[in-house]
Structure 1
Amino acid sequence: MRRLFLLTCLAASSALCATPVYAVEKPAQPKLVVVLVVDGLPQEQVVRYRDQFGQGGFRRLLDQGAWFSDAHQAHGVTVTAVGHSAVLTGAYPYQHGIIANNWVDPVTLASVYCTEDTAYTYIGEETKASDGTSPANLRVSTLGDELRYASGDRSKVITVSGKDRGAILLAGKAGTAYMYMGKTGNFASSTYYMKNHPEWVQQYQTGKPQDRFYGKEWRPLLPDAAYANDANDNLLSDASEKDKRFPFTYTSKSGKPDAEYYGKLNTGPYLDEMTLDFARAAIEGEKLGQNGAGVPDVLGISLSSHDYVNHSFGPESRMSHDHLQRLDRQLAGFFSYLDKRVGLDNTMVVLTADHGFPNVPEFSQATRRDAQRLDGKKVLEGMNKYLSEKFGQDKLASTWSNPSILLDYKLIEQKGLKREDVETAAARFALTVPGIANSFTRTQFENGTLPQNRLSTLMQRAWNRQRSGDIMLVTKPYWYFGSGSHGTSHGSPYSYDTNVPLVFMGKPWFKPGAYGQYAEVMDIAPTLAHLLRVRPPSGSEGRVLTETLR
């Protein structure tokens, strides 16, 4: 980097100043910022399978990028909507307001989906009341919002995902989100963003690219020896359940592409391939990266399939292992395209994940860990029975809203009970339930009287005064809230759910290397805002990762 030596004169004489002043030439602005979020990717998997990656995908990021090994989604409810909200807001749930994928409104007791907005509909697609159509529930700005404001709307912000929440919560208020439609296999936007799709989207849909996978099989990509350390399939499913084992065939009972087939594409490598293909179409159709000097665009890509695979089979499975290898090759192809179309030296690339994943309980049990599924509704039933015996009133606890329980404060008041007494009793009961490690009350959150430790800090960040429940529960490690009989799920404040990959790549801006410093996904937005010379998002609390900057 060139430095200009500026010599200034003293006001009272012509003598040179004793201390030289240096002006550092800032690197050029990128033409395009690409933010990749791999849904449900724990850091552990990237490290475990690193030697098997090809040259152009994850390996390229790890070798040419600034990679943090101790990076975390630093809040206590690690689910898709919360994690995606963190990426470009730099905010925690107590500020940005997205506390879960779904929650129960404490006032109306109505179920709320994180990105639902009945004022809008999908363009050309069936829209149900709980479908995600706008960012109305997101209470803070995103990096894209600030960039659009600073550029006078000349910068474009386009996002695409297999899930509505994955696209909408990256796009913010001023971007444009496209999401996969499970019934038709299209990528579509909503009327929040526009009345009709632009021509390039219409042409893309006309080609029906989603149908090209009909009849295809998903088989392991690598030789059998490569999967030797993966979990035995018998831990994941019964031997008779052939549909849960390789090979997976993407067909339907009708014999042609239909909603059944399009739904199957979620769990496997092809949804991510389609997502990256649509991202290419967006780059071409919107001419991303072609605004000219000083006006960068943002492309957010949320790759959803790994989450579906890990839910079904666990991160220790052959299926998850193979899926990550296939995603690696898909990313390699996408980076090659970016290099030819925009130039990687003109592109900032960030890769992270919205959350990690625990192993399936059966696998954890086989390795002598205490692990099970815990039905939150049964916890609610037991709590009500206990509170009824103690206070002489039924249903003081009204609703289960994972991972919390809502109390009926109106009933508590009517019966002349003290709110704190009922909260304390409910929290103490929860600690007697097998699988519960910690419980926290609304009064503790409101008064800031939680114990001073890391877990309490994560839960405090996850709790929103207007939207969260009254008794927040934390399972023991390797347990999770769920009522199913197979697979696994995330959502805890433990490292297997919080520790995710965080990589910045772009030679003009970032110094490659493996960084052992603690970092958070919340640091992405302020770091990019610093480099793009725009105002940080309104709720941003992350730090600028100056150690990575040139």
Structure 2
Amino acid sequence: MRRRLLASLATFIFASHSLPVIAAKQPISTEYKAPKLILVLVVDGLPNEQVQRYRHQFGEGGFKRLLEQGAWFGNAHQAHGVTVTAVGHAAVLSGAYPYQHGIIGNNWLDPQTLTSIYCTEDTQHTYLNEDTKASDGTSPANLKVSTIGDELRYATGNQSKVITVSGKDRGAILLAGKTGTAYMLMKKSGNFASSTYYMQNYPEWRQKFVADKPQDRFYGKQWTTLLADAAYQGDASDDIVAPADTSSSKRFPYTYDSKSGKPDAEYYEKLFTGPYVDELTLDFARAAIDGEKLGHNPAGVTDILGVSLSSHDYVNHTWGPESKMSHDHLQRLDRLLAKFLSDVDKKVGLDNTLVVLTADHGFANVPEFSQSMKRDAYRLDSSKMLLALNQHLQEKLGVEKLVRKWSAPHFFLNYTAAEAKGITRTDLENAAARYLLSYKGVANTYTRSQFENGMVPNDRISRLMQRGWNKQLSGDVSVVIKPFWYFGSTPAGTSHGSPYAYDTNVPLIFMGKPWIKAGAYSQYAEVVDIASTLSHLLRIRMPSGAEGRVLTETLK
């Protein structure tokens, strides 16, 4: 037995020396690499359905690149009831709804004085070296919550740079938040300007850009179709969207000029309807990348560049999303985005950049086009509705002018006059709401008492209207129009602002290979999810009013 044990031991020792040597495991690096640049692209007035309807015609490198290399949601929404530019832009990087962020429209009324308030007006500040009107947008004073940019700068000791640019002041200012820097295009001079809220003197790179007068290079140019005629066969007839007897009768070719025969305010304003303001905006964004060294921050922290592209909104207002003009504009924007993303790749590297693309709202079809599709669709004149409502309340309750004013989609009631006659606030609200429900074109109404007490029905439209209503700022009776109707009295064009899917459903795309799993996602998503997702990726505190979810299904 002893010999057998010794033999076994010898065999084990020999075998052990014959085994291969296994190297010790090297520690796996757990260092997280955040993006060097967050690029946020907001296309003003772009319904998701247009991206899907025309995607087969996109070139390489623009929308096609984003759709194929990014994570895109087909069921993403601006999830509030008043779908307009300011409200949508406020949602993108705050992650908040209007009842919290305080931007309830492009304009609204002061409930006490009934004076109009513009969403980004601030009489304490003026445009820098540009003419400023009393209601011009010069600061984010009315925005009540923080944004991703604010939280990023807080987390990095203000070392991160947050730069935003837009054709519209509200597009730039509401993306920039409280601590970023916004630049917007001046319609009078054609210059990109900022305000005294942000700076007292312009940086050298901005001065050089403006000195070259790039806005003047389009004078005398014509906007014509980019694609072959056959590509537009499915679009609405010009006779429907641009009838000859209206102000929207302009058709291709669309010429950029002025009565003076040289670049002036008339010409600069005309540029907004078409592809050239977007081209200027992206050129200025390129200058900002170079001038501010965005994506190459010496502190090694993430920078943010927000670019709001304004022109698609102007085009859709004029001719509708079903028009050849809107179709062509989207194709031209696609090519502009392709060049811009290529330049970002060269300047920063797309593998170092997290790109987010969305829109502030969608669009309704031109009512005449909807009628041609056998839909119940008209324009609703709010001034006539106000007169009819006051007349009805006077006949029913015996008091004149119980409705003080209208600011879409709200009526402001005269509670003082009603109570002086023994009429309770609830009775006045209910009388107004009941009458409006019978008014042609109205689908539903909500009262202040319903909103304040949380007594709205638990359906989608009601939830969106509740989110869009602010206790301190909004009116006393809110109106939802019927699908395909819209508030307006002009004989042509269309608008947005409703809680219906054509106004809420917008593109939502994240692209960034190191962080994002590419693919088409069918899950429901909201624009407010952007802020929560970026907070997670940047490992920073969420903005103060953020309510969205982290889109974990898209993350590597």
Q: TM-score range by the shorter chain?
A: over 0.9
| 2:40 corresponds to 1:35 | yes
Matches within 5 A, 1:467-546: 467-546=473-552
**Percent identity of equivalent pairs:** 70
The answer as to whether partners of 1:31 and 1:292 remain within 8 angstroms in 2 is no
Secondary structure at the residue paired with 1:179?
strand
Code of the residue aligned with 1:141 in structure 2: it is S
Give, in whole Å, the separation in 1 of the partners of 2:172 and 2:472.
Answer: 25
Q: Deviations over 1:202-235 (max 9, x none)?
A: 1111110000000111000000000000000000
Contact 2:242 2:249 in 1 (8 A): no
Query: Residues of 2 paired with 1:125 and 1:243: CA distance?
Result: 33
Runs of 4 or more above 6 Å deviation: none
Corresponding residue number in structure 1 for 2:12:
none
User: Counterpart of 2:75 in 1: which secondary structure?
Assistant: strand
Match of 2:214 in 1: 209
SS in 2 for 1:108: coil
Q: Does residue 234 of structure 1 match 2:239? A: yes
- Aligned mates of 1:33, 1:264 — CA distance in 2: 31
Amino acid at match of 1:147: L
2:334 counterpart residue number: 328
State how far apart, in whole Å, the 2-side matches of 1:455 and 1:516 are: 21
User: Quick one: which of 404, 424, 431 aligns to 2:430?
Assistant: 424
User: What is residue 468 of structure 2 aligned with on the other side?
Assistant: 462
In 2, Cα distance between equivalents of 1:455 and 1:33:
33
Query: How far did residue 72 of structure 1 move?
Result: 0.2
Give the whole-Å Cα distance in 1 for the aligned partners of 2:419 and 2:215: 56
Task: Confirm or deny: 8 A CA contact 1:29 1:294 kept in the other structure.
Answer: no
Cα deviation digits, residues 153-203 of structure 1 (max 9, x gap): 000000000000000000000000000100110000000001121111111
TM-score (norm 2): 0.94
Structure 2 stretches of 5 or more lacking a match?
1-26
Give the match for residue 458 of structure 2.
Answer: 452
**Residue pair 1:89, 1:141 contacting (<8 A) in 2 also:** yes
Which residue of 1 is the match for residue 283 of structure 2?
Answer: 277
Secondary structure of 2:74's partner?
strand
Cα distance, 1:237 vs structure 2: 2.2
Number of the residue aligned with 1:180? 185
Q: Secondary structure at the match of 2:59?
A: coil
Instruction: Give the Cα separation in 2 of the matches to 1:88 and 1:265.
Output: 28
Q: Distance in 1 between matches of 2:435 and 2:169?
A: 37
CA deviations 1:282-303 (Å, max 9, x no partner) are: 0111111111475000000000
1:107 CA drift (Å):
1.2
What does residue 391 of structure 1 align with? 397
Partner residue, 2:77: 72
The answer on whether the counterparts of 1:31 and 1:293 sit within 8 Å (CA) in structure 2 is no
Q: Say yes or no: does 1:264 pair with 2:270.
A: yes
Which of the numbers 339, 345, 366 marks the counterpart of 1:339? 345
Normalising to structure 1: TM-score of the pair?
0.95
Conserved 8 A contact 2:71-2:554: yes
Contact 2:159–2:299 (8 Å) recurs in 1: no
Q: Would the aligned equivalents of 1:95 and 1:539 in 2 still touch at CA under 8 Å?
A: yes
Q: Is the 1:29–1:293 contact (alpha carbons within 8 Å) kept by the matching residues of 2?
A: no
Q: AA paired with 2:257?
A: T
CA distance in 2, matches of 1:27, 1:218: 47
Partner amino acid, structure 1, of 2:428 = V
Shift of 1:410: 1.8
Distance in 2 (alpha carbons) for counterparts of 1:488 and 1:293: 47
The number of equivalent residue pairs is 529
- 1:405 equivalent to 2:405? Answer no
The 1:464–1:73 alpha-carbon spacing in structure 2 relative to 1, beyond 3 Å, is: same
Give the secondary structure class of the aligned counterpart of 1:244. coil
Asked if the contact 2:153/2:161 (under 8 Å) is kept, the reply is yes
Give the CA deviation at 1:400: 0.4
Shift of 1:71: 0.2
Q: Secondary structure at the match of 1:348?
A: strand
Amino acid at match of 1:258: D
Alpha-carbon distance in structure 2 between the residues aligned to 1:233 and 1:63: 33
